[in-house]
Amino acid sequence: MRALAVFTPTVTTDAATDYVRDHRDDFLDDLFELLEQPSISTTGEGVGECTDLAERLCETYGFDSTQTVETDGQPAIIAHADADEGADEKPTILLYGHYDVQPVDPDEWTTPPFEPTIRPGPDGRDRIYARGAGDNKGQWFAHLCAVRALRETTGLPMNVTLLLEGEEENGSPNLEAVVSEHADELAADLAYVADGPIDASGRPHVLMGARGMLYVQLDVTGPNRDLHSGNFGGPVPNPAWECVRLLSSMKDESGRVTIEGFYDDVRPITDLDREALEAMPFDADAVMDELEIGGFADGPGDSYLEKLLYYPTLNVAGFTSGYGGEGTKTILPSKAQVKMDMRLVADQDPDDIFEKFRDHVETHASDALSVEVTKHGTMDPQRTPLDHPVREPVLAAVADGWDDDPILKPTLGGSLPTAVFADHLDAPVVVVPYANSDEDNHSPDENLALWCFESGVRTTAALLARLADEEYGR
């Protein structure tokens, strides 16, 4: 890939910004059409219609070519827009988003989820309420608006490739195959992801990666049926207690995970990382008050943000056993199940961690009960170094778009499939969310603040202008 340097852009975005302002209503009309179209990947509802619509919008908004890529699940879309001048000499940016959305329960929404509505949010500022508004249709549609604004004014200054996935809400099971099989078409100097919410402080942030994930399940089986806890309790082993015992063996009193080798590949925290941590705004008391908790969990890391961004987790997502209904039922359950997720950090391998997890369970499990370990899904972690040359043009573009200084963060606390682009395209990856911090993605009344959407459009336009002026040396 080419080496990025920092320059003040010669291509200004003032004209593009004016175009965005003057065509705001047209943009919103097309975004509303996109939001009106269901595209639920778990059921397939509306997926075909949405891919057709997305391709049409790409063509309308200035992309030169589009194609649907079939997968073993829902299809992906690849679209290309060549720089208006000197395309062969210009850099390429890969913009990633997903057109699929979460399922809905319409009864829980104030207005129907696929009938987008503009109304004031809790802060009094107008928001679009619809499924997919923030996650993720509104965010990648902002890229289309930026491309169109530049093409209609100063010209598109660099090459743009757009990749839209149709299964992000299902864990992106076929994204890696799409990227590896179409690596030549997707080759880029930067992979850029607009997804997720801005910082809770209201400031934009630039995330240089994302944590990975491993999702596992423990199934413990004991007696062949539920038993009377008086007649059998004591001598007959209880699967629920076995789960508790196994879980207890996985952490020590300080909160550190005791699975052998769990932290072996965790990337060390550098001085530059420490500087970034110190610059991040964080109000511990406000978080505890909001969550109604009396403190934070123990474990590696000297602070909340250090624990969140630089260390892996071992989380109990669900524990099911015995009777949980009304009143009482005195039984010794025959089965117990625990679902767990592990958020992994840079350089950890989900498959390696799974093997270590399974070995730990096998070592500590009782011979009196049957214990089964199942791996449900993985996502690799990824982190672009904080001192990578792409950092400065991205930070400058975000400051241009939001009229506010962005917060630099090493990684997203959650998981996105950013490692796929780093691994198969050998490109730096940066995540810049365009949605408000309270977008309620995955929840009823999902929304996107209009000021955030407009800031996102300006950010993409500014980024293309800044990256187009970089010097690239082979």
| Extents of the domains making up the chain | 14-210+381-468, 212-266+312-379
**323 Cβ contact list (under 8 Å, min separation 6):** 329, 331, 333
d(CA 235, CA 245): 17
CATH code for residues 212-266+312-379:
3.30.70.360
257 touches 312 (CB < 8 A): yes
- Three-state SS at 199: coil
Evaluate the omega torsion of the peptide bond into residue 136 and state whether it is cis, within 30 degrees of 0. Answer: yes
d(CA 229, CA 145): 65
CATH 3.40.630.10 given to domain 14-210+381-468: yes
d(CA 269, CA 13): 37
Query: What pTM was computed for the model?
Result: 0.90
What residue has token string 């625990």? 338
Based on its alpha-carbon atoms, the radius of gyration of the chain, rounded to whole angstroms, reads: 24
Report how far apart, in Å, the C-alpha atoms of 413 and of each of 33, 179, 204, 302 are: 32, 24, 15, 16
Angle of the 14-22 helix axis to the 450-468 helix axis, nearest 10: 150
- Three-state SS at 270: coil
55 touches 68 (CB < 8 A): yes
Report how far apart, in Å, the C-alpha atoms of 457 and of each of 16, 148, 202, 460 are: 10, 10, 17, 5
190: which strand partners?
93
Q: What is the pLDDT tens value at each position of the chain, 474 positions in all?
A: 344 444 455 556 789 999 999 999 999 999 999 999 999 999 999 999 999 999 999 999 999 999 999 999 999 999 999 999 999 999 999 999 999 999 999 999 999 999 999 999 999 999 999 999 999 999 999 999 999 999 999 999 999 999 999 999 998 999 999 999 999 999 999 999 999 999 989 999 999 999 999 999 999 999 999 999 999 999 999 999 999 999 999 999 999 999 999 999 999 999 999 999 999 999 999 999 999 999 999 999 999 999 999 999 999 999 999 999 999 999 999 999 999 999 999 999 999 999 999 999 999 999 999 999 999 999 999 999 999 999 999 999 999 999 999 999 999 988 899 999 999 999 999 999 999 999 999 999 999 999 999 999 999 999 999 999 765 332
